[in-house]
């Protein structure tokens, strides 16, 4: 199974997964070992779990249009299993979107969610989360991946954000839910990219060789502070283009609505992000 190969590379997590059929379908749910999660049920089309007092669910609807009613029925059934605050991640299917547009059907998925008190959350980033390519060119784009939540859940996490991440490694963009958005701090830490340039060792040696006034403790603290200051300047001089290039590509992606240009930019962003690996500022 593919996830048995991938999971060890991701870290020390608990998890459950349903393997894909060829390159289609497949579900995986991973959680840290400090997270209090209880798996209620799962299948090839859904995963239902309780996280402490928060309800979370992942749904991958039946891909065949004639089975769309099964997804709606499953949503209705799962809503009766608990009265906890509830959030659902959903992936719609291209076939249901085509059929709805062609025959003017009502959006039965939307009605099913509204009937059980779930409403779409907003999002940040590019509006489409899925594309189909032919001969290397994007020919179709859709927003198929969404999060819905109950009013109780939204009140519990009023600052929650949904972000569509730019990536070209799949026909679906990664979608990240943050219940508590990260706040930037000025905490410094080691960057793996520094190992690519040996002059960093010299910068550290020169900073550490300088003596500071005061007792041994003051001298040690002074050396650490000087190392941080000198490394910051060295990092800016050697690797500043990495951060500026990533920023430039993100701005270009934000402004671009040409799907094929976006695909090229996403590839460039992936390569520059690999070079960065771990940034200087958290």
Residue with tokens 């907003």: 122
Please tell me the predicted confidence (pLDDT) of residue 193: 61
- Tokens representing 228 are 């941080």
Q: Other C-beta atoms within 10 Å of 41: how many?
A: 11
Burial 51-82 (b: 16+ CB within 10 A, else e): eeebbbbbbbbbbebeebeebbebbeebbeee
Examine the pLDDT at 87 and tell me if it is beyond 70.
Answer: yes
- Per-residue pLDDT at 197 exceeds 80: no
Distance of CA 48 to the CA centre of its chain: 20
Q: How far apart are CA 109 and CA 116, in angstroms?
A: 11
- Cα(55)–Cα(87) distance, integer angstroms: 6
Give the Cα separation of 105 and 108 in Å (integer). 8
Strands 175-178 and 130-134: unpaired
DSSP count for the chain of H helices, then E strands = 8, 12
The residue whose two tokens read 């996280």 is 51
Q: Would the pTM of this model clear 0.75, i.e. be above it?
A: no
Each residue's pLDDT tens digit, 52-80:
655 566 666 666 666 777 777 888 888 88
What is the number of other CB atoms lying within 10 angstroms of the CB of residue 117?
A: 14
Intervals of CATH 3.60.10.10 along the chain: 2-178
CATH architecture of structural domain 2-178: 4-Layer Sandwich (3.60)
Reply yes or no on whether the pLDDT at 277 is more than 60. no
- The C-alpha atoms of residue 95 and residue 90 are separated, in whole angstroms, by 15
**CA distance between the termini of the chain:** 35
Q: What is the pLDDT of residues 202-244, one digit of tens each?
A: 888 888 888 777 777 777 888 888 888 888 788 777 666 777 7
Quote the mean pLDDT of the chain. 76
């Amino acid at each position: 199974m593919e996830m048995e190969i991938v999971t060890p590379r991701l870290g020390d997590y608990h998890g459950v997964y349903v393997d894909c059929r060829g390159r289609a379908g497949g579900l995986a749910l991973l959680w840290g070992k400090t997270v209090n999660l209880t798996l209620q049920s799962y299948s090839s089309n859904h995963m239902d779990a309780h996280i402490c007092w928060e309800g979370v669910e992942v749904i991958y609807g039946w891909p065949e249009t004639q089975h769309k009613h099964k997804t709606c029925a499953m949503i209705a059934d799962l809503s009766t299993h608990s009265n906890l605050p509830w959030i659902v991640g959903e992936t719609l299917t291209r076939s249901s979107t085509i059929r709805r547009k062609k025959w003017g059907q009502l959006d039965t998925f939307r009605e099913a969610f509204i009937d059980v008190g779930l409403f779409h959350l907003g999002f940040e980033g590019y509006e489409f989360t899925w594309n189909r390519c032919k001969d290397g060119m994007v020919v179709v784009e859709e927003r198929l991946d969404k999060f819905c939540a109950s009013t109780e859940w939204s009140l519990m996490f009023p600052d929650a954000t949904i972000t569509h991440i730019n990536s070209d490694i799949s026909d679906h963009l990664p979608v990240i839910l943050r219940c508590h958005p990260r706040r930037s701090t000025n905490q410094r830490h080691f960057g793996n990219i520094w190992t690519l340039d040996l002059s960093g060792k010299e910068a550290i040696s020169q900073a550490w060789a300088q003596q500071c006034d005061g007792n041994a403790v003051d001298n040690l603290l002074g050396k650490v502070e000087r190392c941080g200051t000198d490394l910051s300047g060295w990092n800016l001089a050697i690797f500043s283009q990495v951060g500026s290039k990533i920023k430039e590509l993100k701005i270009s992606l934000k402004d671009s609505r040409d799907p094929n240009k976006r695909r090229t930019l996403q590839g460039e962003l992936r390569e520059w992000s690999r070079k960065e690996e771990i940034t200087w500022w958290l």
